[in-house]
Structure 1
């Protein structure tokens, strides 16, 4: 029997709090789960710094990746013997679903922003490079690693396969909304996934939903909207991200200036130089990162030491609402006041912005154009979701943006009571 068709002697199951069970019968999937590159995802949290806001948010990219695989497995089971579905692409879909987040670094998006990295680039590098994952994929077929990479890169020729993992209603979103809601303890991310899976249908270049399932899809989109603003963009989480990014910026600056660290940043050197290779990337996880933060509390540089102490001990920055269109003069005055007070504003006065577009319809030629969700009508015609749903129409194409100004209130309060600088800072911040 060919490796790609090989089944395990007995089905393996993972107990899962969201899907109850994750089922594995394919030898290829089981072998991929056991690779060092996939096991590394146990040491990368799904929600980055959110555990400092929601104490239950300790789940990992490993959990989530298994969940996405399980949803795709269920979708494919429902697609059997349906028009437009090619059973030969089953293993490709399952593999891409399992490996789609393989390249995430520690604290994910915050880490990427500091070092100008792209986790999808590293996902493809792991799949195509000299790794255990690549060796397994190549046993399936010489061109199989490239096919998996193409699906994750959204360049695979069959767009139906791509849409299962990356679209406005895909297995990735359906898993993380429910999983993140479960582990953060909020109710926003829950929706009737079983209903959505039952009414999904394969079409030539995308997954569509039967019109009878429209209300379940409405609920899913509103769940996503609420999760972004109540969980993912929570201002306390963003405060932790601000401090995290400033720690890494400060360490990088000190390294470039030739500072002598008590705890040398060995694992970060290639990142500080802007030359991270794949092996260095794979060695860096959140356990390693937090070790350095713990040790850097003892550094002689007061900024690095203080920022690390804040992150490790959850002594986060406070925040106020900020409008960059009308308050730049206040920000410039604050910048100078912080300098006068001995607080480096590049590290202690930070504007952070978040924005989200919960759903969009097709806008040809526009940057970031999105394939919309289509409803399959009883007459077999397709209709874009917002044309049928008043709820979705109300939020379609509407991007919401939020700005906050972060600062160390405790350092401000330590300034002398007689300090005019302190008084003016507080006046600007709190009115």
Structure 2
């Protein structure tokens, strides 16, 4: 096993150093390397062609920021042992290792009843067993059970290095400058007060810019109407495949591992199927979608062709819920055009809601440390922008539908 110093040339931060044998062992493991095959932003590339970076890119970037944050806190007299540093770095490296194909887009669809955070813990525990307990402290920090809460807050909180990296990285790869944050200044202003992570008063405006950037990125990128539509179509592809299987129609995925999870009538026990899950990635799903473009089922084939050819459903975002009468009208039109049932047309005409809260004070708070030693939540700071408008949730309703006039050839048999 190689244990020497390694450097990774990252397009966002430059050189990232890996100089701990245990960290290198984790990064080299096949469970971690799978993150190379899972894109960070699912179908955002259909709108922003440069958004093809992976979960591995993000993981290494968050690891880099964690190292910088810990070094800054140490320089301010915060006691952090070498073991705690290594454990915190491993915890952030593995914080997203439980993501399945297409990350959030297929969460609770491909495998129901379990979130990626739970899977991350299962994978950490499996690695810990394989590495003779070397990751025990990392797991403790990740779960928030360690007696120094600021270490967990750097991994999961309103101002964690996870968010700092994905905003910085996603804005870089999409080219959306509204997402650029002053992550380096935020790191310089971090401090610890009574064991909790706080930010020095001087960084208030930088934190507000961070929160505004996050809000803009959600509506301009993560919840962009076209991205949202494509991801809902992906969900409907899996739902339709499962529906057909349950009613006796053959639907087979080219990948054995995807086919295993697809054919299961009930959610599998992932503690027993963890190794199989860790073979799943975006390539399995996209391979199946390409294969199903010629499936005899009109609905499944049409959805898959639309994804492969980027010929997506029309989508509208609006402030009010979509009327049932409009949805029914569109479904009736598609059913008549394609020769399918109105029920089947529901896969091609649907609505829902998307919401985002930039800063929710009821969750993990961003605490500001003032020069007089007092600590206040940023929403309680005089004249703070967050106090006035960023703590309220924003909700929008989406309406995705197929227009018969733009569906020419979509339901015809393929020539091969």
Equivalence for 1:425: none
> Is the contact made by 2:182 and 2:206 (CA closer than 8 Å) also made in structure 1?
yes
Task: Out of 274-283 and 181-190, give the one that drifted further.
Answer: 274-283
Q: Per the alignment, do residues 285 and 320 of structure 1 end up closer, same or farther by CA in structure 2, a change over 3 Å counting?
A: same
What is the CA distance between 1:79 and its match in structure 2? 1.5
What is the CA distance between 1:199 and its match in structure 2? 0.9
Q: 3-state SS of the aligned residue for 2:19?
A: strand
Whole-angstrom CA distance in 2 between matches of 1:35 and 1:26: 15
What is the CA distance between 1:121 and its match in structure 2? 1.3
Q: Does 1:123 align with 2:120?
A: yes
Task: Identify which of 143, 148, 159 aligns with 1:158.
Answer: 148
1:247-266 aligned within 5 A: 247-261=237-251, 266=256
Whole-angstrom CA distance in 1 between matches of 2:162 and 2:228: 23
Task: Identify which of 181, 185, 188 aligns with 1:195.
Answer: 185
Task: Identify which of 375, 383, 398 aligns with 2:376.
Answer: 383
Q: Does 1:85 align with 2:79?
A: yes
Whole-angstrom CA distance in 2 between matches of 1:66 and 1:263: 32
Task: Identify which of 210, 213, 225 aligns with 1:220.
Answer: 210
TM-score using structure 2 length: 0.88
CA deviations on 1:34-73 (whole Å, 9 max, x unpaired) are 1101100000000011111110010000000001110010
Whole-angstrom CA distance in 1 between matches of 2:246 and 2:254: 13
What is the CA distance between 1:153 and its match in structure 2? 3.4
What is the CA distance between 1:150 and its match in structure 2? 3.8
TM-score using structure 1 length: 0.85
Whole-angstrom CA distance in 1 between matches of 2:16 and 2:254: 42
Q: 3-state SS of the aligned residue for 1:404?
A: strand
What is the CA distance between 1:306 and its match in structure 2? 1.4
Equivalence for 1:204: 194
Task: Out of 309-318 and 331-340, give the one that drifted further.
Answer: 331-340
Equivalence for 1:424: none
Q: 3-state SS of the aligned residue for 1:33?
A: helix
Task: Identify which of 310, 313, 317 aligns with 2:309.
Answer: 313
What is the CA distance between 1:182 and its match in structure 2? 0.5
Equivalence for 1:99: 94
Task: Identify which of 366, 371, 374 aligns with 2:367.
Answer: 374
Whole-angstrom CA distance in 1 between matches of 2:220 and 2:170: 11
> Is the contact made by 2:322 and 2:399 (CA closer than 8 Å) also made in structure 1?
no
Aligned Cα RMSD in Å? 2.3
Which stretches in structure 1 are left out of the alignment for 5+ residues?
A: 1-6, 362-368, 416-431
Q: 3-state SS of the aligned residue for 2:354?
A: strand
Q: Per the alignment, do residues 154 and 64 of structure 1 end up closer, same or farther by CA in structure 2, a change over 3 Å counting?
A: same
Task: Out of 200-209 and 22-31, give the one that drifted further.
Answer: 200-209
Which stretches in structure 2 are left out of the alignment for 5+ residues?
A: 410-416
Task: Out of 378-387 and 406-415, give the one that drifted further.
Answer: 406-415
1:25-424 aligned within 5 A: 25-80=19-74, 82-87=76-81, 88-114=83-109, 115-116=111-112, 117-129=114-126, 131=127, 134-136=129-131, 138=132, 140=134, 144-145=135-136, 147-261=137-251, 266=256, 267-271=258-262, 272-273=264-265, 274-275=267-268, 276=270, 277-322=273-318, 325=321, 327-341=323-337, 342-343=339-340, 344-361=344-361, 369-388=362-381, 389-410=383-404
What is the CA distance between 1:254 and its match in structure 2? 1.4
Whole-angstrom CA distance in 1 between matches of 2:145 and 2:313: 41
Whole-angstrom CA distance in 2 between matches of 1:397 and 1:81: 33
Q: 3-state SS of the aligned residue for 2:107?
A: helix
Q: 3-state SS of the aligned residue for 1:113?
A: coil
Q: 3-state SS of the aligned residue for 1:45?
A: coil
Q: 3-state SS of the aligned residue for 1:303?
A: helix
Whole-angstrom CA distance in 2 between matches of 1:328 and 1:410: 19
CA deviations on 1:163-191 (whole Å, 9 max, x unpaired) are 00111111000000010001011101112
